[in-house]
């Protein structure tokens, strides 16, 4: 096995050991509901924040939220559920998928995704 693949796979396995749940719910520092979900088929994470109905961005589509800075950009928005994924071509490692690895390929860990959700939370709080 390629050394880089081994490094990324070990990072994934450690992450799963530290965070065994496939779905993790939490509250951001600003009180929004947050959710981190591991993709069952490929092993990468998706992260979501749930906005209250009275938030000005509640009804926006993902392509209307380009000013929200998050890893890979907002890729999902529906009824206040705003999300992003860690499945961007050859940049993101898909532990349970094909292992095509470039030098820049990396794995977004649970903690990295949680940090991105907190950054999203900060941005949405400023837009209230």
Q: What is the DSSP string of 31-99?
A: S-EEEEEE-TTT--EEEEEE--TTSTTTT--GGG-TTS--TT---EEETTEEEEES--TTTB--TTS--
Q: Domain count for the chain, please give it.
A: 1
Q: What is the DSSP string of 21-47?
A: -SEEEEE-TTS-EEEEEE-TTT--EEE
Range of the domain at 71: 3-126
Can you give the pLDDT at residue 1?
55
pLDDT at residue 42 is higher than 70: yes
Mean pLDDT to the nearest integer, 12-27: 97
Predicted TM-score (pTM) of this structure: 0.93
């Amino acid at each position: 096995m390629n050394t880089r693949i081994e490094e990324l796979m070990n990072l994934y396995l450690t992450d799963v050991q530290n965070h065994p749940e496939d779905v993790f719910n939490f509250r951001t520092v600003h009180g929004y509901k947050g959710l981190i979900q591991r993709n069952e088929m490929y092993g990468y994470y998706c992260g979501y924040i749930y906005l209250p109905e009275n938030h000005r961005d509640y009804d926006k589509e993902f392509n209307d939220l380009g000013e929200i800075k998050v890893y890979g950009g907002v890729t999902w928005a529906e009824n206040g559920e705003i999300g992003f994924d860690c499945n961007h071509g050859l940049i993101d490692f898909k532990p349970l998928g094909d292992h095509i690895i470039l030098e820049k390929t990396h794995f977004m860990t649970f903690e990295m995704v949680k940090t991105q959700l907190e950054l999203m939370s900060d941005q949405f709080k400023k837009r209230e």
